[in-house]
Amino acid sequence: KAGVTQTPRYLIKTRGQQVTLSCSPISGHRSVSWYQQTPGQGLQFLFEYFSETQRNKGNFPGRFSGRQFSNSRSEMNVSTLELGDSALYLCASTVQANTGELFFGEGSRLTVL
């Protein structure tokens, strides 16, 4: 069974640009959530999607957005990039609820210059 796949793995952007990250969950998993990992901050919850609907949202500015498609694949978008957006963005999937055991992808490492 294939795991959670995130693309791209690494990317470099400049301030003011926008970026789109993609996540393919494990087959059969309908819940996809996104986390931001920065040094010293741990993993901070961005949002969760279930059946194409955003079910929960973390405390991030509106520049961070996401969506989920009918095949459960998800994308997140960050507009007007700032230096502080440099982080590892992790996607996780689970069968139904965004609680309990999540299956994480390897992450997309974003560097903003």
Partner 1 sequence: DQQVKQNSPSLSVQEGRISILNCDYTNSMFDYFLWYKKYPAEGPTFLISISSIKDKNEDGRFTVFLNKSAKHLSLHIVPSQPGDSAVYFCAASRRELTFGQGTILTVHP
> Residues in the site for partner 1, rule: CB under 8 A?
4, 33, 35, 40-45, 48, 56, 58, 90, 92, 98-107
Q: What's the CA gap between 87 and 79, in Å, rounded? A: 15
Inter-CA distances, 87 with 18, 29, 53, 61, Å: 14, 25, 25, 15
**Least separation in angstroms between CB 98 and partner 1:** 5
Q: List Cβ neighbours of 62 (8 Å cut-off, separation of 6 or more).
A: none
Smallest distance from partner 1 to CB 53, Å = 14
Nearer to partner 1, 72 or 98 (CB): 98
State the nearest-atom distance from the C-beta of 93 to partner 1, in Å: 11
